[in-house]
Amino acid sequence: MKTNLIFNTEKLIGNLNSSSAFYKIKENKHNLKIIKEYKNKRGRPFSINIPKKIKISPEAAGLIVGEGFIGDRNFVFANSNEKAIDMVLNLLQQFNLPIKDYLEISIKNKDKKFINECKRFWEKQINTKIIKIRLRKEFNNITNHGTLHIGINNSLVAKLLKQIITKSKKKIEKNKELCIGYLKGILAAEGNINIKKKTNCVYMVRISASKIDERDHYKRCLKKIGINISCKDMPTVSKEEAKQKNWKTTKGRAGAVLISKWDNFIKILELNLLELSKEKEQKFMNHFFNNKFTKQFLGLRHFIDNDFTMKKIQNHFNFSGRHLNRVLTLWKKGYLERKLVKNHYIYKTNKRYLNIFYTLNSYQNNPIF
């Protein structure tokens, strides 16, 4: 069953009362009528109806932390992924307010037919006619259907969302299941798959975050689900620092949390952390199979349901030295079982190995498109 974060609207509203303005709450059958009044009587009172409970999925929280903007009077989220848009729309629709939208399309080297295709795609997806379209002639298109911007212009909603996201992050850090969903959103929004050109293998999954406290927050969530970070963070480089370094780009670079090591990549696979972005998932899987350790892991298919010794492994793969040590690593990491029989260790693939093997095998037989 999917876990959502649930917030009491009345408590959230109570946190917003100040010396200059306060909110009256009138309870209806299903909703709360929120009336804002000003103590100095200079502002204009207004009222809106909001559910008694506000639900947000951990995935939506991750997407908003990664790519959302919460201002003083508005909230905006932009994404080219229809799954991400749907998740954030599910949150916004609870406020019973008009949701603004516009479509942004980079049209360099694209014709008018592409613009119409993008418009039709998103209109079908959100079941709303798109009126406003922004065309970017200076950029090449890197999306399938352009980028949709959705948002609400309301100061109360913006204040509530700020509270919800702040409180969600604290709750998520303490709960493994919430961390999994949250990191799916974060990786869809801020994740990057880095490929080593020489070997054509995945060597790093990067989560962009400019501020140190943001990176520390991500690392606590990663640790909660069993992903341990061994690399130092990639530091943020400002525009001024980029100029001093004579970089080709003068925009600088956001800092990042760096996820490396095969065990961590397997954890990403086991928990399906890239499922919200099929493009990133496809890139990850295409290059993960080029990893030598992945090939050796899959090579043990010959010993599924059969006991084997190091000698059998050595003869079958023509292994020696450090390659045999990798088999020992698989045992130490819990992918193999072993028992001592007449002064010799007998190994066998276990349930964890089989689960990962069949998952990897399914990707090979049914590649992502």
Domain edges within the chain:
5-168, 174-288, 292-365
Residues of the chain with pLDDT under 50: 368-369
Over pLDDT 70: what percentage of the chain? 94
pLDDT tens-digit series, residues 337-358: 999 998 889 999 999 999 999 8
Helix axes 212-224, 155-173, angle to 10 degrees: 50
pLDDT of residue 43: 56
pLDDT of residue 75: 98
Architecture of domain 174-288: Roll (3.10)
> Domain 292-365: which CATH class?
mainly alpha
Could you tell me the sign of the dihedral formed by the alpha carbons of 88, 90, 91, 97, in that order?
Answer: positive
Three-state helix/strand/coil letters over 49-80: EEECEEEECHHHHHHHHHHEEECCCEEEEEEC
pLDDT of residue 47: 82
pLDDT of residue 368: 47
Cα pseudo-dihedral 345, 349, 350, 352, rounded to 10: 130
pLDDT of residue 369: 38
pLDDT of residue 361: 84
d(CA 50, CA 208): 34
Helix axes 82-92, 58-67, angle to 10 degrees: 100
d(CA 48, CA 31): 10
Tallying the residues shown for the chain, one arrives at: 369
Q: Which of 336, 347, 339, 344 is nearest to 297 (CA)?
A: 336
pLDDT of residue 111: 85
Is residue 335 within 8 A of residue 314, CB to CB? The reply is: no
pLDDT of residue 42: 59
